[in-house]
C-alpha cells in the first residue's frame, strides 16, 4: 500500500524559510505560530560540523499520538488523503497533544485558547495539487508525493517513535558531512567551548506554566488516601471539607484548560487517553465519595475507593508520554505512592508507614544518585529538605508522637510538594530540536 507523504532532501535545504512563509500565507496563521518549522543543525556555524536543516510540520502519522491521546476526540483522519485533521471547535485546549507529538506539530494558540496544526493542505491535495509549503520551496528540498505505507523513518536527528510518519527523508550524503569551505581558525575552536555556547534546551513542560498540576495531583492523592482510610478504618471525614477539597481539585484542573466550557468533552476518549481516564475516574471517585458520606452505605464507599485507585493509576500513566532524565519506570513522586502514604498515616499502620517511607526514600535516593552520575544539576537544599521530611515521621514515632498528628501531616505534605515540584522540573518531551542538540554531542 502507498500513502501521501512529504518528501524532504536534507542535502538541498538552505534554511530560507520559504516553506514556512508559504504555509503561513496559505492558512492565515497567527503571528508567532508556524505550523511548519525549520530546525537547524549547527546553529552556531561551527566549522567542524555539517550544516543542514529539517523542515518539519505535522507528519500525519499512521499511528498518530495526538489523535490517540486527545481526551476530547478533537482529531480525525481523512480516509481519502490520510491527513490527520484537528477540529478546533471540539478542542478543550488541554495541550496534552502537544506533549504527545514527538514532532512538535500541534501548536497552542494563546489567543484562541485551542490547538491548531498543519492540515496537509487538505483542499489542495484533494484536488491533485501539492501543499503550499512544497510549492513554495525554491530549491526542490521539500516536495509532496507517495511512499510505501507501514514504514518508520530512521535517520540521525529525526525523532523515531515507531508511529510511521508520512514523510520520506533523504539523509545527508557523506560528502556533505564536513563543510568544504576551509577555515584557518577551525583548529582554534575548542569543542567544549562550542558545547557550552549551545542554547539551553527548554522543555515543553515548565513548572511556571503547569503549576496548577502540582496542587491538583497532590490534592487527588490526599483525597483518595483520606477516603480510603475512612472506609477501611472508620476515620471520621467531614463531608464539607471533603467536598471543599474536591471542588478545589476540579478548579485547579479546569484552570489548565483553554476552553473551560467544553470541559465535559474531556471524558470522551476513555478507550485510548489516560487523561480521559484520569478525569472520569476522579469524577466517579468524588461523586461516589459524596454519596458514601451522605448515606453511610459501605457499598458506595468501596466503590469510591476503587475509583480512587483507578484515578491514581491514571494520574501516573498520564506522564508515560514524557521522558525523565534517569529513565526509570518508578519514581518517588508517583501519586499512587503518595496515596498509600496518606492512607497508612491516617490508618495508623506502623508497617505501611515504614513501608511507604522506605520505598519513597529509596526511589528518591536512586534518582538523585543517577542525577549525579549523569552530571545533572540538582538542588541540594531541596534534596536535604525532601529526605528530612521523610525521616521526621520515623523520628516522631520513636519519641512517642501520634502518626496522625497535624504536625506529622504537614511535614509529610511539605515533602510531597517538594518531590512533585522536582518531578515536573525533571520530565521532558522529545522534540526535533532536542534530538538535533543531542546528535551534536554524540
SS3 305: helix
Q: Does domain 213-428 have CATH number 1.10.3470?
A: no
On whether the CB atoms of residues 279 and 92 are closer than 8 A, the answer is: no
Provide the pLDDT for residue 196: 60
Q: Please report which helix (H) or strand (E) contains residue 41, including its range.
A: strand 37-41
Burial environment of residue 377 by CB neighbours within 10 A (0 to 12, 13 to 18, 19 or more): exposed
- Condensed to tens digits (0 to 9), the pLDDT of residues 302-348 reads 999 999 999 999 999 999 999 887 777 888 999 999 999 999 888 87
Provide the pLDDT for residue 384: 87
- Condensed to tens digits (0 to 9), the pLDDT of residues 55-85 reads 999 999 999 999 999 999 999 999 999 999 9
Measured distance CA(105)–CA(44) in Å, rounded: 25
Pick the CATH number of 2-174+184-198 from 3.30.70.20, 2.60.120.10, 3.40.50.20, 1.25.40.10: 3.30.70.20
Provide the pLDDT for residue 70: 97
How many degrees, rounded to 5, is the angle at CA 262 between CA 311 and CA 306?
A: 15
In the chain, where are the structural domains located?
2-174+184-198, 213-428
Kindly report each contact of residues 194-200 with a partner whose C-beta sits within 8 Å and lies 24 or more positions away, as own/partner: 194/44, 194/46, 195/440, 195/441, 197/44, 198/43, 198/44, 198/437, 198/440, 199/43
- Condensed to tens digits (0 to 9), the pLDDT of residues 144-183 reads 999 999 888 888 778 888 899 999 998 887 655 554 444 5
Provide the pLDDT for residue 401: 58
pLDDT < 50 stretches in the chain: 179-182
Residue 123 C-alpha cell reads as 483542499
Residue 112 C-alpha cell reads as 484562541
Residue the block writes with cell 467544553: 262
Residue 4 C-alpha cell reads as 501521501
How far from 388 is each of 391, 395, 411, CA to CA, in Å?
5, 10, 9
SS3 354: helix
Measured distance CA(427)–CA(442) in Å, rounded: 21
DSSP structure class, residue 8:
E
On whether the CB atoms of residues 164 and 65 are closer than 8 A, the answer is: no
Provide the pLDDT for residue 437: 73
Q: Which residues contact 138 (CB under 8 A, 6 or more apart)?
A: 16, 18
The strand pair at 2-9 and 167-170 is best described as parallel
Provide the pLDDT for residue 82: 95
SS3 349: coil
- Neighbouring CB atoms inside 10 A of 24's CB total 20
Q: Please report which helix (H) or strand (E) contains residue 246, including its range.
A: helix 239-254
Q: Which residues pair with residue 54 across a beta bridge?
A: 39
Residue 166 C-alpha cell reads as 508520512
- Neighbouring CB atoms inside 10 A of 364's CB total 21
Measured distance CA(308)–CA(391) in Å, rounded: 27
Amino acid at each position: 500500500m502507498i500513502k501521501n507523504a512529504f518528501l524532504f532532501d536534507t542535502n538541498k535545504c538552505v534554511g530560507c524559510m520559504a516553506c514556512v512563509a508559504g504555509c503561513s500565507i496559505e492558512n492565515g496563521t497567527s503571528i508567532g505560530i508556524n505550523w511548519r518549522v525549520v530546525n537547524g543543525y549547527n546553529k552556531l556555524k561551527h566549522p567542524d560540523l555539517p550544516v543542514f536543516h529539517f523542515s518539519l510540520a505535522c507528519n500525519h502519522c499512521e499511528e498518530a499520538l495526538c489523535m490517540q491521546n486527545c481526551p476530547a476526540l478533537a482529531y480525525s483522519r481523512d480516509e481519502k488523503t490520510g491527513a490527520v485533521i484537528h477540529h478546533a471547535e471540539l478542542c478543550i485546549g488541554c495541550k496534552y497533544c502537544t506533549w504527545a507529538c514527538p514532532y512538535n506539530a500541534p501548536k497552542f494558540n494563546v489567543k484562541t485558547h485551542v490547538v491548531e496544526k498543519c492540515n496537509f493542505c487538505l483542499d489542495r491535495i484533494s484536488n491533485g495539487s501539492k501543499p503550499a509549503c512544497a510549492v513554495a520551496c525554491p530549491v526542490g528540498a521539500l516536495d509532496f508525493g507517495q511512499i510505501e505505507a507501514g514504514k518508520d523513518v530512521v535517520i540521525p536527528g529525526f525523532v523515531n517513535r515507531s508511529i510511521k510518519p508520512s514523510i520520506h527523508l533523504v539523509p545527508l550524503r557523506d560528502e556533505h558531512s564536513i563543510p568544504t569551505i576551509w577555515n584557518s581558525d577551525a583548529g582554534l575552536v575548542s569543542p567544549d567551548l562550542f558545547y557550552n555556547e549551545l542554547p539551553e534546551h527548554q522543555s515543553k513542560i515548565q513548572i511556571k506554566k503547569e503549576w496548577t498540576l502540582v496542587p491538583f495531583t497532590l490534592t487527588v492523592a490526599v483525597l483518595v488516601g483520606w477516603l480510603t482510610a475512612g472506609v477501611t478504618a472508620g476515620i471520621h471525614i467531614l463531608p464539607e471539607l471533603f467536598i471543599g477539597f474536591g471542588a478545589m481539585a476540579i478548579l485547579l484542573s479546569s484552570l489548565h484548560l483553554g476552553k473551560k466550557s467544553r470541559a465535559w468533552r474531556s471524558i470522551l476518549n476513555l478507550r485510548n487517553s489516560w487523561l480521559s481516564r484520569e478525569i472520569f475516574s476522579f469524577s466517579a471517585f468524588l461523586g461516589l465519595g459524596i454519596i458514601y458520606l451522605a448515606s453511610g452505605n459501605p457499598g458506595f464507599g468501596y466503590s469510591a475507593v476503587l475509583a480512587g485507585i483507578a484515578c491514581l493509576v491514571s494520574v501516573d500513566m498520564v506522564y508515560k508520554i514524557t521522558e525523565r532524565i534517569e529513565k526509570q519506570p518508578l519514581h518517588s513522586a508517583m501519586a499512587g505512592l503518595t496515596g498509600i502514604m496518606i492512607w497508612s498515616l491516617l490508618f495508623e499502620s506502623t508497617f505501611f508507614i515504614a513501608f511507604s517511607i522506605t520505598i519513597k526514600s529509596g526511589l528518591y535516593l536512586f534518582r538523585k544518585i543517577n542525577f549525579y552520575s549523569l552530571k545533572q544539576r540538582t538542588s541540594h537544599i531541596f534534596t536535604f529538605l525532601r529526605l528530612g521530611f521523610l525521616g521526621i515521621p520515623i523520628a516522631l514515632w520513636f519519641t512517642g508522637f501520634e502518626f496522625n498528628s497535624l504536625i506529622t501531616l504537614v511535614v509529610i505534605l511539605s515533602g510531597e510538594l517538594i518531590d512533585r515540584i522536582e518531578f515536573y522540573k525533571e520530565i521532558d518531551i522529545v522534540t526535533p530540536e532536542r534530538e538535533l542538540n543531542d546528535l551534536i554531542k554524540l
